[in-house]
Structure 1
Amino acid sequence: MGVRVRMAPPPGTMWGIYEHKRRLITLRPRMGHAQLVTTLAHELGHAHYGHTGHQPKTERLADKWAARHLLTVDLIKEHSRASMEAPAIAASLGVLPTVVRTFLNTLTFAESVDLMNYAAELHA
């Protein structure tokens, strides 16, 4: 992808930022694991699309890209045996619950049916 990553305080209270001209991701130091993984994947989404600036549409695209690169239906199945709640699945996977929710909102019809059938088998 040709992107450099550094740990340094980004502007304000942001957890991370992508600068397209410099092909540079800056991540806030001392974040927790789930915050770091989620933020890095989100910023890589911005890099993938070549985003500049922050607009709601580009933020949603970066979130979806991150969710689809961090999770799969099989991972959700594997980490949802104890609970089908997003916070529990996210904790098991080491990502933020927003990643799980975003991933679930991007499922194709076939993936949704597969996951619903799996959940039904678990509770049968």
Structure 2
Amino acid sequence: MLALLELAERRGIRVLYGHLDGRNGVYYHELGMIILDQGLCESTERFTLAHELGHAHYGHLDSSPANEMKADEYAARLLISHERYAQAESLGDSHNFIAQELGLPLRAIEAYCRGLVRK
């Protein structure tokens, strides 16, 4: 998590916590700010921060399905190395197992695999 917070700081993005009423996180491009819901578990918090950094990276101004997919794939690239994925996959090939092994939400594994297919 520290590496993601440092990345945000290097990019001039403030990260704050608050109550988001059902959303995990939100990126405000015009403010250079990410707000994370303060009730997230560690794995969801890490993925959400990486996802919102993806929105910042691409300069997204809305949450269209295409933008959400790109932000998910960006987050997966930040959080999952090919080596760690291969190691987890060698122990069990279900996406649920790999997600648990890597300490990430299933959504991260799905985005990682989707990104591989599109390359």
SS of the residue aligned with 2:31? coil
Number of the residue aligned with 1:9: 19
C-alpha distance in structure 1 between counterparts of 2:54 and 2:40, whole Å: 19
1:92 aligns with 2:97: no
The residue number in structure 2 matching 1:58 is 67
In structure 2, what is the Cα distance between the partners aligned to 1:38 and 1:79? 18
TM-score in terms of structure 2 length: 0.84
In 1, the alpha carbon distance for the partners of 2:108 and 2:32 equals 24
Instruction: Point out where structure 1 has 5 or more consecutive residues left out of the alignment.
Output: 112-124
Cα distance between partner residues in 2 of 1:98 and 1:59: 11
1:69 aligns with 2:78: yes
Where structure 2 has 5 or more consecutive residues not aligned to the other structure, the ranges are 1-10
Distance in 2 (CA, whole Å) between partners of 1:73 and 1:21 is: 34
1:14 and 1:30 mapped to 2: Cα distance? 10
Counterpart for residue 92 of structure 2: 83
Q: CA deviation at 1:82?
A: 2.0
Distance in 2 (alpha carbons) for counterparts of 1:16 and 1:38:
10
In 1, Cα distance between the equivalents of 2:45 and 2:115? 22
Letter in 2 for 1:33: E
SS in 2 for 1:80: helix
After superposition, the C-alpha distances for 1:31-59 in whole angstroms (9 at most, x for unaligned) are 11111111111001001111112111111
Secondary structure in 2 aligned to 1:18? strand
Aligned counterparts of 2:81 and 2:117: Cα–Cα separation in 1: 12
TM-score scaled by structure 1?
A: 0.81
Q: Percent identity?
A: 31
Amino acid at match of 1:9: H
- Number of residue pairs the alignment of both structures matches: 109
From the two aligned structures, give the one with the greater helix fraction: 2
